[in-house]
Structure 1
């Protein structure tokens, strides 16, 4: 199995995804049928329980998509059960410290290199049927450990985060970046900062991620060379479609 970084390198293109906020198998299936490459199940800004997050991971993977999960916080209590549940990677929100990034990414890697415990009887280990070497290789080499940088000072230090031994992806959060700086993603200074972060990930050979609101922005960031581009989210995509259908019918 290739990890997402290997897929990007092998296919020569970035991958298109969206956030999953609706706790529904049906909407995840529709996203898969629409042709998305991956989803990120959002435990930070959506009311997903741990059980439902793991079920949505299974649903997305059954549809041929990679399934990442954005953790609810930096406490790390969900790391082991989500990785045991077979998630293809985890996003850690609102990281501002390289010490925090280093510590939490170590918990996603098996001992002795890291601090993750053995759980071969989990779904990630095919309920005990996977060879040990396959289980360990997937955990250490094929799981995305992506740190979200969402304030100006942290994004400026992207190269420092990219150099951490167990971090293999950086994600720029333009939404919270706007809250702290007052500058939208379209601002020239933000574009320059974004390009610098992207360059840092390429130099380090790790994945890069960004979230955008429109297909035009998605195409632009894919053309820039981002590994993972998140287009909108399920609630907005389905909500807009329903609103447009109703407005067109009434017109």
Structure 2
């Protein structure tokens, strides 16, 4: 999708997405028919290999959705190939230091400002049919470079991460925040912290993201002003719908 970052930044209300855990084109197609604005293909908590990610990105974009990818870790190994595969951006999990955030997002930006190499004969460059200048401009200006802050100390320093030159999104990992702090997303202090991060990101001119387990929780984050809000994931949505159908049919 051309200009997903601009679309997300300019939306009057946050965009709605979900995680892709199931390795299926049909599932992604159904998510598009359902009306989701974007998906995040999860390489951290789902066993998606690189070639499948490439095809799921294509499927999502052909359904009119933004296609982001959550990296498996904080290394730079997959960055070049996923971006040249045409993904609209990347989420970096479990970032805890300024230096980590600086280096991984520099890998998403072309030299000399960053360390990403030229690959204009890839899908992102329309196999060489896209002018190199457009390929470079899109890669640097329209790529979502979102870091996930998932512990209390890092979230308290969210403004420092947001000030880095190549970070253009902050995502709150409420699940790991609960593991490290013992405070669920519904805790009043966590709610206040989340709202503060959304407001800070908006003031800084970058994106903000959060994941919700239910539509009701997703509306809370949309009302807070988050740019990208995830609700559940494809596997859980299917599982709960299937379990509900069985329970209803059996009375």
Which stretches in structure 1 are left out of the alignment for 5+ residues?
none
Structure 2 counterparts to residues 1-251 of structure 1, below 5 A = 1-4=2-5, 6-251=6-251
Contact 1:3/1:141 (8 A) holds in 2: no
Contact 2:171/2:210 (8 A) holds in 1: yes
Contact 2:4/2:66 (8 A) holds in 1: no
Give the drift of 1:203: 1.8
Taking only aligned residues, the RMSD between alpha carbons, in angstroms, comes to 0.8
TM-score by length of 1: 0.98
Instruction: Give, in whole Å, the separation in 2 of the partners of 1:11 and 1:245.
Output: 35
> How big is each residue's C-alpha offset from its partner over 1:158-196, in whole Å with a ceiling of 9 and x where there is no partner?
000000000000000000000000010010111111122
Give the drift of 1:9: 4.2
> How big is each residue's C-alpha offset from its partner over 1:47-87, in whole Å with a ceiling of 9 and x where there is no partner?
00000011100000010000000000011100000000000
Instruction: Give, in whole Å, the separation in 2 of the partners of 1:10 and 1:168.
Output: 14
TM-score by length of 2: 0.98
Instruction: Give, in whole Å, the separation in 1 of the partners of 2:3 and 2:64.
Output: 13
Give the drift of 1:2: 2.2
Number of residues paired by the alignment? Answer: 250
Instruction: Give, in whole Å, the separation in 1 of the partners of 2:10 and 2:150.
Output: 29
Contact 1:86/1:124 (8 A) holds in 2: yes
The answer to which of 195-204 and 230-239 deviates more is 195-204
Instruction: Give, in whole Å, the separation in 2 of the partners of 1:87 and 1:136.
Output: 14
The runs of at least 4 aligned residues of structure 1 exceeding 3 Å deviation read: 8-11
Give the drift of 1:91: 0.3
Give the drift of 1:13: 1.4
Instruction: Give, in whole Å, the separation in 2 of the partners of 1:43 and 1:249.
Output: 35
> How big is each residue's C-alpha offset from its partner over 1:86-126, in whole Å with a ceiling of 9 and x where there is no partner?
00000000000010000010000000111000001100000
The answer to which of 98-107 and 8-17 deviates more is 8-17
The answer to which of 20-29 and 217-226 deviates more is 217-226
Give the drift of 1:133: 1.2
For the residue of structure 2 that corresponds to 1:59, the secondary structure is helix
